[in-house]
Amino acid sequence: MALDMLQSFLRPPGQEPPPEPALDDTTDIPPIPAAPAPAGHVTYGRQVAEALRFAVRQGRLRWRQEQRRDGKFIHPLRTEPCSIQDVCDYADSRAWVPPGHDGGIAEKSGVAYFAVIGKPMVTYHRVRIWEYERPLRWLIWLAIRFAAAMAVLAWLGHGRLAAWITGAVLAAAVIAAAVLMPRRSYVGETPEQEEEDAE
């Protein structure tokens, strides 16, 4: 608009401005080509679908491998619990990521799972297995948890209740020990078995 005003000011008086060319509506305007997608860019839906297909393929392969082993499929899961190091190695290997999908949603969600749920859950279960391997360990952990619970109860302002619960538990333990200690049980062969062996 400023350019038109400048041209009309510089034009000699009485001279008409040149006519503007008419627009030709008959010509087709070529479409603007869409910008190519960056290399490796895949929608989240396709990434999820490929991750599910990859998981099904890996599951079927694992199932066939387990069927060739001796024993049932559930047996190694019960008798061979994975160690914390095994889980860390699997998380570092990124074996659940479909080929060519590095850095995608499958890898990111897997890393988040192992950081928030996977490794802490395996650590918890390994500690529980270690705890239940020996009765003394179980008793020590039970005493520690009980002491922590009573400390929290006292910290919340229920010190008298914590004292009553602690006293009741100690009294029950003393009564149980007094009842069970005098009882006898045979170690080895019973007298009847000894008589049979003597005959």
What CA–CA distances, in Å, run from 27 to 20, 32, 121, 136, 163?
18, 15, 68, 92, 94
pLDDT tier for residue 106 given thresholds of 50, 70 and 90: confident
Residue with tokens 């490796």: 40
In this prediction, residue 37 carries a pLDDT of 43
Mean pLDDT of the chain: 76
Q: What is the pTM of this model?
A: 0.48
Please measure the distance between the N-terminal and C-terminal CA atoms of the chain and give it in whole angstroms. 129
For residues 148 and 191, give the distance between their C-alpha atoms in angstroms, rounded to a whole number: 47
Burial class (CB in 10 A: 0-12, 13-18, 19+), 106: buried
In this prediction, residue 190 carries a pLDDT of 64
Q: Which residues of 25-54 are buried (b: 16+ CB within 10 A; e: fewer)?
A: eeeeeeeeeeeeeeeeeeeeeebeebbeeb
In this prediction, residue 179 carries a pLDDT of 85
Which three-class secondary structure state does DSSP give residue 90?
Answer: helix
